[in-house]
Amino acid sequence: MPRLVLTNARLIDAVREGVTAGASVTVEDERIVEVLDGRRSPSEQGARVIDLQGAHLLPGLWDAHVHLEWPRVPQAGVPELTAQYLANAQRALLEGGVTGLRMAGTPHFIDVALKHAFDSGQHVGPRMVTCGWFLTTTGGHALGTGFALPCDGAEGFVRVIREHIQAGVDHIKLNLTGGIMGPAWDRHWHTFFTPAEIETAFAICRQRGIKVMAHAASTEAVKAALRLGAHSVEHGYIMDDECLTLFRQHDAWYVPTLGITHLTPSQATTRWEKQWVEQRALTPDLIRRAEDAVEEHRSWFRRALAAGLKMAVGSDVRPVREGALLELGLWVKSGATPWQTLQAATKHAADVSGLGRELGTVETGKLADLIVVRDNPLDDIDNVHSLLLVIKNGRVVADHRAR
């Protein structure tokens, strides 16, 4: 593979706030080997040179909370799901510029298989950080999705978590509370685990040094997850000040998944939100549940942001091609700056995924997962939709400049 030189870029490196005009980035094999501002020119000899003509070069986007199914196919077996998940992950990369996915629940370890297929180059696809099944309880959350695995009793969790470790997952997803999208008996203020179940599940993960991604939608579960050593808390629709303190004390991440409560017909304002809401066609009951929860959710998002918690963009919204882009818009609508939001979807999302040393910024030595967008996302975050190029592992995998 010849060296790849990207010239005439407006660079947003996700390290220093702002745009560097006239920048160039050189990629050799899979890594960034040189980043220059406008004052110096790169060596173009023997290289493939792409003149970006002033377009914006930034790290590839991440979605740090992903389920790959869409549309839901009742009774789908492993073969159908595998084909669908592969296609959805590829679309996220090639059409959305989402170069990294942190998984939040996938049946049959299809995420582990896709990760191997993408890493080996067998298929083109995004980086995958895997968790296998969404571990819940009988009468738990997301049971209709096909990706939830009910476990009961401390021993039930021990066995399943060990099976996950053996299958090669990167983290364990524990579902501690109900959610917004569910049947009448599944409410987000309900905690599911018995004390023995939650303590044992965390203890096994701690013993094996594997991170826990905790679905915790309400105060008591958020606190329990943080005290027991969760790496990240997802959702946090209902919290209190002590939750924010515990996040800081335990140096844990918060992934707020604004899309779950903010994407309803009456709240959709942009054309992408309106399109998404229309195709999602939520039932009136689920719309009401989302809207009943949105104000409190947004207030904790704002307070977490103001408190300077470690936060990353994760959408929990399907299809994954649209999820991250919608979530970026919702962060800004809910009070984050475009810069905070972009960093949360690149540098910080790579960090929460455990890959911050290799990915998430445009810096010499990092793996070259990059995107080019025509218009400046720091002016308007929705400019992430003006996607021109996607570079994964140093290779141009999608070129939309002609469209």
The Cα–Cα gap between 252 and 403 comes to 42
Closer by beta carbon to Zn ion, 286 or else 307: 286
Q: Other C-beta atoms within 10 Å of 224: how many?
A: 21
Q: Give the footprint of Zn ion on residues 79-98 (CB under 5 A).
A: none
How far is it, in rounded angstroms, from Cα 131 to Cα 215? 13
- In the complex with Zn ion, the residue whose CB is nearer, 170 or 316, is 316
CB of 262 to Zn ion, least distance (A): 15
∠ CA 180-186-191, nearest 5°, is 95
Q: How far is the CB of 65 from Zn ion (least distance, A)?
A: 6
Based on CB atoms, which residue is closest to Zn ion, 316 or 327? 316
Q: CA angle at residue 358 from 122 to 10, to 5 degrees?
A: 100
Q: Which of 23, 30, 19 is nearest to 7 (CA)?
A: 23
Residue 62 token pair: 């991440």
**Using CB under 5 A, which of the segments 196-204, 221-229, 313-321, 381-389 binds Zn ion?**
313-321
Size of the site for Zn ion (CB under 5 A): 2
| Distance of closest approach, residue 215 Cβ to Zn ion, in angstroms | 6
> For residues 62 and 362, which CB has a smaller minimum distance to Zn ion in the complex?
62
Specify the residue, 121 or 183, whose C-beta has the smaller distance to Zn ion.
183
- In whole angstroms, the minimum distance from the beta carbon of 67 to Zn ion comes to 6
Which residue shows structure tokens 């996950």?
164
Question: Is residue 319 reached through a cis peptide bond, with omega within 30 degrees of 0 on the bond before it?
Answer: yes
Task: Name the one range near Zn ion by CB under 5 A: 159-167, 202-210, 281-289, 311-319.
Answer: 311-319
Nearer to Zn ion, 58 or 214 (CB): 214
SS (H, E, C) 62-122: EEEEECCCCCCCCCCCHHHHHHHHHHHHHHHHHHHCEEEEEECCCHHHHHHHHHHHHHCCC
148 sits near Zn ion (criterion: CB under 5 A):
no
Token pair, residue 80, equals 């159908």
Beta carbon of residue 154, minimum distance to Zn ion (angstroms, whole number): 24
Binding mask 96-125 for Zn ion (x = CB under 5 A): --------x---------------------
Contacting range for Zn ion; rule: CB under 5 A; set: 40-48, 198-206, 309-317, 392-400: 309-317
Which residues are bridge partners to 102 per DSSP? 129
Answer yes or no whether residue 316 interacts with Zn ion by CB under 5 A.
Answer: yes
Which of 344, 342, 350 lies closest to 101 in space, CA to CA?
350
Part of the chain binding Zn ion (CB under 5 A), chosen from 118-126, 149-157, 297-305, 310-318 = 310-318
For Zn ion, which is the closer residue by CB, 148 or 160? 148
Kindly state the smallest distance separating residue 38's Cβ from Zn ion, in Å: 42
Closest to 228 in 3D by CA, of 253, 200, 257: 200
CA 392 from centroid of its chain's CA atoms: 17
Q: Which is nearer to Zn ion, 56 or 235 (by Cβ)?
A: 235
Residues lying near Zn ion in the complex (CB under 5 A) are found at 104, 316
